[in-house]
Amino acid sequence: MSAALPLAVRLIALDSVGSTNDEAKRLAVSGAAEGAVVTAREQTQGRGRRGRAWTSPPGNLYLSLLLRPDVAMARLPELGFLAAVALTDALALLVPAPGRLGHKWPNDVLLGGKKLAGILVETATGADPARAAWAVIGLGINVMHHPSDADRPATSLAAEGASIEAAALLPPLVVRLLAWRERWLAEGFAPLRAAWLARAARLGETISLRGPAGAESGVFAGLDEAGALLLDGASGVKRVPVAEVIGAAA
């Protein structure tokens, strides 16, 4: 499986682990170099945003990539968009009807409007609290299986007619992650933002959000220069940095 990976990548392929992100964070703290990729056949304590459990049976792809970008901490949320774009880039070459792939703000990848993958970015500062020491990008991709009891409709590549094994998806995904990393560092967030918006789910539609201030609705008008959602509501366009899209507005 590692033969098709870039030479700079160090692959740590595990049979079972609590969480690939936790293992990648342990490597980061111990001084591992950028480019370490942790995969596991299954996770026993997989999690998503806000500590939510992520069902992790064998047959899906669970991976975490360790990066050490010399950037301000304020830029690291952009890595969630980077992961989503890299994944849809890789899948577009492998799935039937790639136009059905989509990005759900802030950190999900959809296929046919259903959740296919989740992304969890975890970071740490260095001696300078304003600068990043490391970042771990974790992805859980429903290749063979998907939960039937999730809060939102979910799917898998197998359920959508894509005959892809997790091992076959890993190399093109890692290649795209590293390619977008290079472009992000060289050109900033703008090209990444444009690529994410090109597949944005419900862009231009009226959506409902649930955030720290409660529920609200408006037209999804795009992303600002830092990745915050722009919501066009009764009082005009507002910036929403943290929230969850819970559906189309009634």
Which range among 44-53, 78-87, 107-116, 157-166 shows the weakest confidence by mean pLDDT?
A: 44-53
* Mean pLDDT score, 4-12: 88
CA distances to 73, 79, 193, 226, 227 from 188, rounded to whole Å, are 14, 11, 9, 10, 12
* Shared domain check, 97 and 191: yes
Q: Which residues of 211-229 are buried (b: 16+ CB within 10 A; e: fewer)?
A: beeeebbbbbebbeeebbb
* Shared domain check, 215 and 141: no
* Shared domain check, 94 and 19: yes
* Shared domain check, 74 and 18: yes
In the predicted structure, residue 3 carries a pLDDT above the cut 60: no
* Shared domain check, 212 and 96: no
102-134 per-position pLDDT tens digit: 999 999 999 999 999 999 999 999 899 999 999
* Shared domain check, 86 and 7: yes
Range of the domain at 231: 206-248
In the predicted structure, residue 70 carries a pLDDT above the cut 80: yes
Report the pLDDT value the prediction gives residue 91, as an integer from 0 to 100: 97
* Shared domain check, 184 and 99: yes
Mean pLDDT of the chain: 92
Nearest-Å Rg of the Cα atoms of the chain is 17
165-191 per-position pLDDT tens digit: 999 999 999 999 999 999 999 999 999
* Shared domain check, 224 and 180: no
* Shared domain check, 60 and 13: yes
* Shared domain check, 103 and 23: yes
Quote the percentage of the chain above a pLDDT of 90: 83
* Shared domain check, 192 and 210: no
In the predicted structure, residue 95 carries a pLDDT above the cut 60: yes
- 242: domain CATH number? 2.30.30.100
* Shared domain check, 218 and 102: no
Copy the structure tokens of residue 224. 């600002």
Please give, one letter per residue, the 3-state secondary structure of the chain: CHHHCCCCCEEEEEEEECCHHHHHHHHHHCCCCCCEEEEEEEECCCECHHHCECCCCECEEEEEEEECCCCEHHHCCHHHHHHHHHHHHHHHCCCCCHHHEEEECCCEEEECCEEEEEEEEEEEECCCCCEEEEEEEEEEECCCCCCCCCCCCECCCCCCCCCCCHHHHHHHHHHHHHHHHHHHHHHCCHHHHHHHHCCECCCCCEEEEEECCEEEEEEEEEECCCCCEEEEECCEEEEECCCEEEEECC
Model confidence pTM above 0.85: yes
Report the pLDDT value the prediction gives residue 250, as an integer from 0 to 100: 39
Copy the structure tokens of residue 99. 């136009």
Q: Which of 127, 109, 131, 126 is nearest to 118 (CA)?
A: 109
30-50 per-position pLDDT tens digit: 999 999 999 999 999 765 555
Check residues 150 and 243 and name the one with the higher pLDDT: 243
- 14: domain CATH number? 3.30.930.10
187-233 per-position pLDDT tens digit: 999 999 999 999 999 999 999 999 988 999 999 999 999 999 999 99
Spatial distance between the Cα atoms of 24 and 32, rounded to a whole number of angstroms: 9
